[in-house]
Each structure stands twice: as C-alpha cells, then as structure tokens.
Structure 1
Amino acid sequence: MQNIRVTLVIQNCPVNRFAHNLALTVKNISDAAQQNCDFVVFPEMNLTGYAPADLSNAVALDSGWMDELNRLAQKYNIAILTGLVEKAASKKIYATHLVFRPDQSVARYRKIHLSPFEAPYFSCGDDVKVFKFKGVHFGIQLCYDAHFPELSTAMALKKADIIFIPHASPRGTPEEKSASWKRHLTARAFDNAVFVAAVNQVGENDAGLNFPGISMMLGPDGFLAGENIAYENKMHTYILDMSVLEQIRTHKMRYFLPNRRANLIEK
C-alpha cells in the first residue's frame, strides 16, 4: 500500500461565526492541497465552534455550503473531514463530523459518547462507521469517544487502518493535553494495530473557552509518529507508511485482534 499524506489542521473556531469558520476552512483546504495531502482533517465542531449549551449554534446540513466542500474534494482529489453542531430534520442536535470525497455522497459520523457537559443538550449517534478512500479504511471518533476502548476495537474489526479523532477539548496547556492523549491514544493504536490521528481546536472561542492547540499522529505500533503544538491556526502534514500495517498484522506476537475471545467478552 502506498504512503498516505494526512494534513491535520489546528484551527481557531469562534462560536456563532459560521461564515468566518467556513471561509477559513476553505482556505485551509486549499493550502493543504498544495502539500499534496490525501486527507485534510479539522477539529471537532470547527465550523460552528464548541459551546454545548448554545443550541442556537446548530446548523442544518445544507447544499449551499456543502456544495463548496464537495467541489474542493473533487478538485483536489482529497478527503475532507470537517465538523459542526448538526440540527437534524428531527430537530435533534448532534455533534457531527462530515466526510467529503470525490464522486461520493457526503457521509457523516455522529458522536456516540457524550461527555457529562454535552449530554443535556446533544443526542447520541448510534452507528459505528468505517469509510474508505484511496484504498484506506478509516473511522472517526470525536474527543470523549476516545475514552471507550471498545469503540476503537469495533472500528478495527471493521478493517479500519486509521482512526481520526478530532477534538474540541478545552483547558490546560498543549503540553498537558499531549500528556493526556499519550496516556490513552497510544493504547488505542497499539491494541488495535491502527494509526491514530488527533487534532484539537486552538485559542479563545468567544464563549469563555480556551483550547490548547495540538495535533498528534500515532503509529500502529503505539509509538509517537509526530506531534505539533500551536498557539494559533496551524497545519501539519504527516506522511504515513502504510506498509507498517502489514508488518504488524502479519506478526504473530504484535497483532492481537485475531486471538480476541469475543464470545466471553460479549456475554
């Protein structure tokens, strides 16, 4: 399998400034495309900003602005992963991440695990999805989702090669966030033999929250493949050697999923 180029975008995402955030997202997509990336990944709720109690921030999925992102995915032959607070036709509110790919309909992942601060306002998603682009199978989790190991395992069992984990995780310094991620995201990568890519919002969001800017790539061996800290909008492209997956998954003592005794665990 060929190398895959993944651009993780650390983005400032003010609340109730959808047009501003969309314009910045479009610019970042174009800039990322100049780095010949295959995937460009934005933080959780980058289009709407993160303020769980402010439901006026929710946005319906609308062809007007979505057509622009579809056009860019087609133009640059890339997958675009971007997030928002979604107001569904049912009037339910979801934390949603959208997937734009050339010649495919828009796909979405709705956050399955809601934090105690989000649960009073959002509805839970209930679909564990794995998507495909350029021969790569990938899953999406959103922030709090990553604390539930079985979700990563479920995606790995559905043949995920990469799990993207966009965050809207406030408080703390980038160094503190880095230490936190390394405690649990390394385990998600190592236990399931998948790449794990995480990225956070950055800076003040006009709603009283401040986000430590960081992106991180972990290899399927559980080792850190790259990390970037930022105090303003910044992107970094990580080059993934996908042959590492085959090396680990054909090793009797480094690939654990085939020996998992699901019949006992799922009783």
Structure 2
Amino acid sequence: MKDLRISLVSCTAAVGHIDENIEKLVYWTHCARDAGAQVVCFPELSLIGYSLDAESVRIPTEIDGHIRNTLQHLADQSEMTVLAGWLEGCAREKRSISHLVAVPRGKMGHYRKTHLAPPERTLYCAGNDVPVFRLASATIGIQLCYDAHFPELSSIMSANGMDILFVPHASPHGSGQEKLESWRRHLVARAYDNAIFVLACNLSGSNDTGLHFPGVALAIDPSGHVIGTMMTETGAMLTVDLKASVLENIRSHPMRHFFPNRRPELYENHSAHTVIDLRETEHPISSP
C-alpha cells in the first residue's frame, strides 16, 4: 500500500431521481479532488436512492450502460477513483444492490451485496462473489451495510490482500450518534482483527419516500483507533489520510498482526468438531 488521501461523502439520494443524484456525485467528487483526495466513496445506492418499495426499484436495464459510462467519465475527468452505489441486473428478475468502482482509464469493478437485510430479501437478489480490487496504491474491499456484521467476509478479503475496507451504508435507523456508537463496536473489530483500514459512510436526510437517514462517516486505522468522524443532516465530506507506515508497523509486528496466525482448517471443517454436553445428567455420579 502507498499513502492515500480518501474522501467519504454523506449525501442525500432521492429515490428514482437519477439525474439529480448524479449531479450531487459530480459536485462532491470535485470537492474531493479539490481537497487532494485520490479516492472518493459515496454511500450505498447513492445513484438511485434506497427504497423498500417494489415499484421504486423497477428501472430499465438500458440505463445501466449510461450509469457506467457516466461514472467512468467522472473518474477519468477528475483523475480519481470513484465508488458509488447502483442497482444492477442479475440472472433473476430482481436486481442486486451493487457498488461500482471506477478507476481513471482503467477497468470498472463492482461488488454485489452478499448479505441482504431481512426487509431487502423480497426485493433484491444477493451476490455470491467476494472480490477485492487492486488499485495502483492499495487493494480494497467493499461491504454494503448489513454485510459488515459477518466477519467471514473480512477474513476472505484479507486473505486476498485487502488493505482498506469501504463500508457504504443506507441505514435509516437511529440517530447519528447511535449509528457512530454501533459502528465503533463492530467496525473497529473488523479493522483490529484484520489489520486493515475501515472507512464507512451513510446516506443523509430524506429519500423522498418516507425514510430518513442519519448522515455519518467514520474512519478507523489498523490498530482499531478512530481517525475521523463526521455527522451531517444534509450532506458533508470527511477527508482522511491513510499512511502506509501505519499499516506496515502493525503487519510487521509478530504480536500485533493476528491474521497470519489463523488456522483456517479449524474454521472451515465444521463437521470435524463435536459438541460436548457437560450438563448434569438425571443420575449424577455420587461422591465416594
């Protein structure tokens, strides 16, 4: 990994207002560029808006190409890597909650949400791949909101060389302070156990269909230390510097880098383990 400056954007995204959401994407990308960032990350479904209404997620497949071309042009024009949320078609009739990765003059990647929250399962289809993306300066992974509650995802990504985990959210629950406190519990664990940077951002404000999002952003270093936070109701940007030396200091320390000492053979072969019942039986053994 090389030193990187990253901008995390918390913005509103009205459901179905694609052109308006693209305008916000362009505006905040230019703000991130002016701040000297090399990567800008937007929240989950930042291009289409987050909805649990079936009618709202019915969009023509023809627009996928337009979205991809627009995002790639923005990355090329700004000389930045842009991470933004969209709905992509999958093999079934439903769409996948996806996050696109546009690299200047490079290939475009996508991550499809693998763990759908219970209210999402009737509307969307889950992804079945756990990719990481190799950029010029770092290898990154993406998990979307509910995904981050499943530590196995981070282990798989870390085994494939992940340096930075981005966790874009579309979470309407609780206040901004409550959201930050929740993230400080489970996202700090993802950073500490895997010796990675973890960066999260949430939608903010109203989606115009009855949901309201507490806009927050959080940055955590590989020691589990919080290095940046932000709360907003309308839209704001958190910019942080990720130092390669911080990552290297952890990963070169034999007692602070836990990941290389894992024993996957124990974790993956569940049938090799037994449950030993030590509860009292009906006829306990009497003392002599």
Q: TM-score normalized by structure 2?
A: 0.89
2:5 aligns with: 5
Q: How does 1:53-68 map to 2 (within 5 A)?
A: 53-59=53-59, 60=61, 62-68=64-70
Shift of 1:55: 4.5
Task: Give me the whole-angstrom Cα distance separating, in 1, the residues matched to 2:87 and 2:58.
Answer: 5
* Equivalent position amino acid for 1:63 in 2: G
Rounded to whole Å, the distance in 2 between the matches of 1:118 and 1:217 is 27
Larger radius of gyration: 2
Q: 3-state DSSP class of the match of 1:117?
A: helix
Alpha-carbon distance in structure 2 between the residues aligned to 1:184 and 1:207: 29
> In the alignment, does 2:50 pair up with 1:50?
yes
Distance (whole Å) between structure 1 residues aligned to residue 92 and residue 173 of structure 2: 33
Structure 1 residue 190: deviation in Å?
Answer: 0.1
The whole-number CA distance in structure 1 between the counterparts of 2:113 and 2:2 is 30
Partners of 1:58 and 1:85 within 8 A in 2: no
- In structure 2, what is the equivalent of residue 137 of structure 1? 139
CA contact (8 A) 2:188 2:224 kept: yes
Match of 1:209 in 2: 211
Task: Say if 1:88 and 1:264 are closer, same or farther in 2 by CA, change over 3 A.
Answer: closer
Name which of 199, 202, 216 aligns with 1:200.
202
For structure 1, the residue ranges without an aligned partner over 5 or more in a row are none
Q: Deviations over 1:106-165 (max 9, x none)?
A: 210000000001111111101111002123000000000000011011111111000000
Q: What letter corresponds to residue 16 of structure 2 in structure 1? A: N
Moved over 4 A (4+): none
Instruction: Return the alpha-carbon distance in structure 2 between the equivalents of residues 152 and 85 of structure 1.
Output: 23
Instruction: Work out the CA distance in 2 between the residues paired with 1:205 and 1:17.
Output: 10
SS of match in other structure, 1:177 = helix
Amino acid at match of 1:162: I
Q: What amino acid is aligned across from residue 191 of structure 2 in structure 1?
A: A
Aligned in 2, Cα 1:159/1:58: closer, same or farther, shift over 3 Å? farther
Is 1:171 matched up with 2:170?
no
Q: Is the Cα contact below 8 Å between 1:18 and 1:48 reproduced in 2?
A: yes
Equivalent residue, structure 1, for 2:261: 259
3-state SS of 1:62 partner: helix
Q: Is the 8 A contact 2:228 2:238 kept in 1?
A: no
Instruction: Rate the CA distance shift 1:199–1:58 in 2: closer, same or farther, 3 A.
Output: farther
Residue 31 of structure 1 and its aligned partner are, at CA, apart by 1.7
From 150, 161, 171, the equivalent of 1:159 is 161
CA contact (8 A) 2:2 2:137 kept: no
Give me the whole-angstrom Cα distance separating, in 1, the residues matched to 2:98 and 2:55. Answer: 14
Q: Is the 8 A contact 1:3 1:242 kept in 2?
A: yes
Report the more deviating stretch, 52-61 or 228-237: 52-61
How far apart are the structure 1 equivalents of 2:145 and 2:184? 14
Structure 2: distance between partners of 1:226 and 1:6: 11
Task: Tell me the SS of whatever aligns to 1:235.
Answer: strand
* Distance in 2 of aligned mates of 1:88 and 1:262: 31
Letter in 2 for 1:73: A
Rounded to whole Å, the distance in 1 between the matches of 2:193 and 2:209 is: 37
Q: Which residue of 2 aligns with 1:186?
A: 188
Does structure 1 residue 128 correspond to structure 2 residue 130? yes
> Which of 98, 117, 120 is the aligned partner of 2:119?
117
Q: Distance in 2 between matches of 1:25 and 1:78?
A: 13
Partner residue in 2 for 1:22: 22
**SS of residue in 2 equivalent to 1:183:** helix
What CA distance in whole angstroms lies between the structure 2 residues aligned with 1:264 and 1:64?
46
Which of 212, 223, 234 aligns to 1:221? It is: 223
Q: Is 239-248 or 66-75 further displaced after alignment? A: 66-75
Aligned pair count reads 267
Please state how far the C-alpha of 1:90 moved relative to its aligned partner: 4.7
> Partners of 2:233 and 2:39 in 1: how far apart?
23
Which residue does 1:40 correspond to in 2?
40
Counterpart of 1:6, as a letter, is: I
Q: Percent identity?
A: 42
- Tell me the SS of whatever aligns to 1:25: helix
Shift of 1:88: 3.7
SS in 1 for 2:118: coil
| TM-aligned CA deviation for residue 19 of structure 1 | 1.2
In terms of mean alpha carbon deviation, does 189-198 or 222-231 score higher?
222-231
Cα root mean square deviation, aligned: 1.4
Q: Return 42-51 or 18-27, whichever deviates more.
A: 18-27
Which SS does the other structure have where 1:32 is aligned?
helix
Distance apart, 1:222 and its partner CA: 0.6
